[in-house]
Amino acid sequence: MAERWSSNLGFLLASIGAAVGLGNIWRFSAVLGQNGGGAYLVPYLIAAFAFAVPLLVFEFAVGRALRTDVVSAFRGVGVNYTALGWVVAGSVLVILSYYLVLTGWVLGFLVATLLGVDLSFAGFTGTWWPVAAFVVTTVATGGIVSLGVKEGIERLVKVVLPVVFVVIAGLAVYAATLPGFADALAFLFTPDLSVLADPGVWSAAVGQVFFSLSVGQGIMLTYAAYMDENTDLWRSAVVITVADVAIAITAGLVIFPVVFTLGLAPTAGTELAFTTLPRAFASMPGGRAVGVAFFGLLFFAALTSAVSLLEVGVAAATRSFEWSRAKATLALTTGVFLLGVPSALSYGPSGFALGDVPFLDVLDESVGTLALPVTAFLIAVVFTWVAPNDTAERELGRAYPVVKYALPVLLPVLVALKVAGVARP
Ligand code: PFF
């Protein structure tokens, strides 16, 4: 009997777990900080509801109609398309390789904060500890996925997600008591509509929304293959998007008050979560408990996303090679681990780098940032133009042209902007 979620709620929680991750907390605040705060929220929200929601519904419809993984879905179009399916699944696995390294950093900071060890970013990444932490995150992710969709992934999200919601709300309440809260509100919610003319901001917003919602990479397609026949696709897509956006903005409401209270720079980018915040927590009253809550939340949010990335590959490998779930998980986690080792070692004194750019950033900037619109383009074009999916067309209704016409035009423009260096992160 094919795998299924035990209920609609199980599917919704798993998809929210896939969406809510490091992207909402670490990447969102980094991108927002670098793109002018509140100015960026308008294109971000437009991108979420105008483009990401229709593509989510589309992936759901295709996944449920075909009831298969992303590679088999492409293979079904024609044997020649199998390779494109692997491009999609492969890019997800490459993302997973450094995503698990980042999750390992979070784990490192969580343990250090728990033990009261004063850990600096350079002091941590310059050692072998990131590799040890990476082993733990890889084994945990593989262990959960090997248990299956219902017994592994669904059980994890049912325990973890309610905790994530409560903890982030609690942290926001705490942040509201900080002196920098008013400045943070002004920074986050004062829109500057003039930036809407800047294509760089649009490109950053669309890229961030797709990353954050896990859309356009076959992740939601894979999860939809296990969903019930009666699930309301539009309602699910809107609930997932609202939850994802709400968590991102709440994370901003936690991070920026801390940043402004201590007079730090909101533009620190990637360093924000790993350098600025640990230092900030260390200097605040009750900061240790807040730090544990923050990194604990981040760790579990990342784990529920990592399992979704791995499931894309495992679902594909079980069907393509007729492997058991256990064998597919073991083979893929081993591969992902080997691929991730250079990333795990890339921030040390003699770290793996291409020129000046650490290997982890090379992967994030190529596959994580650039491949994302490419895979979204492949999914949108192949299942509308090459092998139109009737169910998807029916489910999308008036929004179908967004996927069939708007995205195939918009996504290549996005890639071009990025390649031309117009786009910011
Ligand atoms: N959406 C999750 C996040 O924002 O962290 C996980 C994720 C999926 C990250 C796909 C990156 C990605 F390309």
Pocket test for ligand 1, best of 55, 161, 305 (most atoms within 8 A of CB): 305
pLDDT at position 265 is: 84
Q: Is residue 149 part of a domain?
A: yes
Ligand 1 nearest-atom number relative to CA 22:
5
Cα 353 from chain centroid? 24
pLDDT at position 410 is: 95
Q: Which residues are registered as beta bridge partners of 354?
A: 357
Q: Is residue 3 part of a domain?
A: no
37: left (phi over 0), alpha (psi -120 to 50) or beta: left
User: Which residues have C-beta atoms less than 6 Å from ligand 1?
Assistant: 19, 21-24, 95, 211-212, 214, 217, 305, 368, 372
pLDDT at position 302 is: 98
Closest C-alpha to ligand 1, atom 8: 214
Q: Is residue 266 part of a domain?
A: yes
pLDDT at position 181 is: 96
Name the helix (H) or strand (E) containing 194. Answer: none
Structure tokens at 68: 């298969």
Query: What is the identity of the amino acid at 424?
Result: R
pLDDT at position 137 is: 98
Question: According to DSSP H, which parts of 266-286 are helical?
Answer: 271, 277-282
Closest C-alpha to ligand 1, atom 9: 211
Domain carrying residue 207: 8-419
Q: Is residue 153 part of a domain?
A: yes
Closest C-alpha to ligand 1, atom 13: 211
Q: Is residue 2 part of a domain?
A: no
Q: What is the CATH number of the domain that holds 358?
A: 1.20.1740.10
Q: Is residue 86 part of a domain?
A: yes
Closest C-alpha to ligand 1, atom 12: 211
- In 167-182, which positions are buried (b, 16+ CB within 10 angstroms) versus exposed (e)? bbeebbebbeebebbe
Closest CA to 136 of 164, 106, 163: 106
pLDDT at position 425 is: 55
Pocket test for ligand 1, best of 44, 99, 270 (most atoms within 8 A of CB): 99
pLDDT in tens, the chain (425 residues): 589 999 999 999 999 999 999 999 988 998 888 887 888 898 999 999 999 999 999 999 999 999 999 999 999 999 999 999 999 999 999 999 999 999 999 999 999 999 988 888 888 888 899 999 999 999 999 999 999 999 999 999 999 999 999 999 999 999 999 999 999 999 999 877 888 888 888 888 898 999 999 999 999 999 999 999 999 999 999 999 999 999 999 999 999 999 899 888 888 776 678 887 887 888 888 889 999 999 999 999 999 999 999 999 999 999 999 999 999 999 999 999 999 999 999 987 778 888 888 899 899 888 888 889 999 999 999 999 999 999 999 999 999 999 999 999 999 998 898 888 766 55
Q: Is residue 424 part of a domain?
A: no
Query: What is the identity of the amino acid at 276?
Result: T
Would you say the pTM of this structure is higher than 0.90? yes
Who contacts 392 (Cβ-Cβ below 8 Å, separation ≥6)?
58, 61, 62, 65, 383, 384, 400, 403
Return phi, psi of residue 353, to 5°. Answer: -150, 155
The contacts found for 311-314 with CB under 8 angstroms, 24 or more apart, are 311/145, 311/149, 311/153, 311/219, 311/222, 311/223, 312/69, 312/70, 312/89, 312/92, 312/93, 312/217, 312/218, 312/219, 312/222, 313/89, 313/92, 313/93, 313/96, 314/145
Structural domains counted in the chain: 1
Ligand 1 geometric centre to CA of 31 (Å): 14
Ligand 1 geometric centre to CA of 23 (Å): 6
Distances (CA, A) of 163 to 106, 157, 221, 300, 380: 17, 10, 26, 9, 35
Cα 11 from chain centroid? 17
Token pair 């996944």 is found at 63
Q: Is residue 89 part of a domain?
A: yes
